Copies of this chain bind each other. A is one copy, B any other.
Amino acid sequence: MGRIAAKQTYIPTLLRLFRQFGYEGVTLAKISQATGLGKASLYHHFPGGKAEMAAAALAEVDLWLETSILPILSSKVKPIEAFELMCQEVSLFFNKGENDCLWAVLLLEQSSKNLFDSQINRAFSRWIEAIANVLITAGANEIAAIQRGEDAVITIQGALILCHGLKDFTPFQRVIKRLPQQLCQDI
């Protein structure tokens, strides 16, 4: 197995660990146990150490956005249908609200050097812009469209936080179900 393919094998585990415990909360011991690899082997695949492992997890989320979300929003279907497909993917990715969002985890930690901030900034911006473009194409005012894109991200991120606080994931499912209509309201 080539090095790139080998790395791919461990990335879902890395993503799970970093979004669950945060950057500082993940230790090489935890990673070693979760992957079944010794520490030295981890450094073979990720010479940059923990920072490179977290970067790989973050890249996986970027890839999800690029391949599972943005294409839907660039397709020619009606806005309401695009948003329904988007919400379906979101619900799947976050396991109906039970998964944390790696973006939020890394942002809130503000770990020493803000290693990942610009990458996360770009991801948020691209998502918001893609939602706004759907609405603009449908005739919406540009400023209102961008605000709705922001509202969508706010709703998703806020619902994930609330649900983890309440240990009740029904609010996430409720707001996700409402979101497509909300985004198209009065457009």
Contact = CB atoms under 8 A, between A and B. Distances in A.
A18 B118 CA distance: 22
B165 A121 contact: yes
Contact of A22 (B108, B147, B159): B108
Interface residues on A, range: 35 or more
A64 interface: no
Contacts of A112: 25
B165 A154 contact: no
How many copies of this chain does the complex contain?
2
Contacts of A120: 165
A85 interface: no
A18 to B, nearest CB: 11
Interface in A98-130: 100, 103-105, 107-112, 117, 120-121, 123-125
Contacts of A151: 175
Interface in A39-71: none
8 contacts: A21-B111, A22-B25, A24-B109, A105-B108, A107-B164, A153-B158, A153-B162, A154-B175
Given A105-B108, A121-B166, A158-B161, 8 more contacts: A22-B24, A25-B110, A100-B110, A104-B108, A121-B167, A147-B174, A150-B162, A153-B162
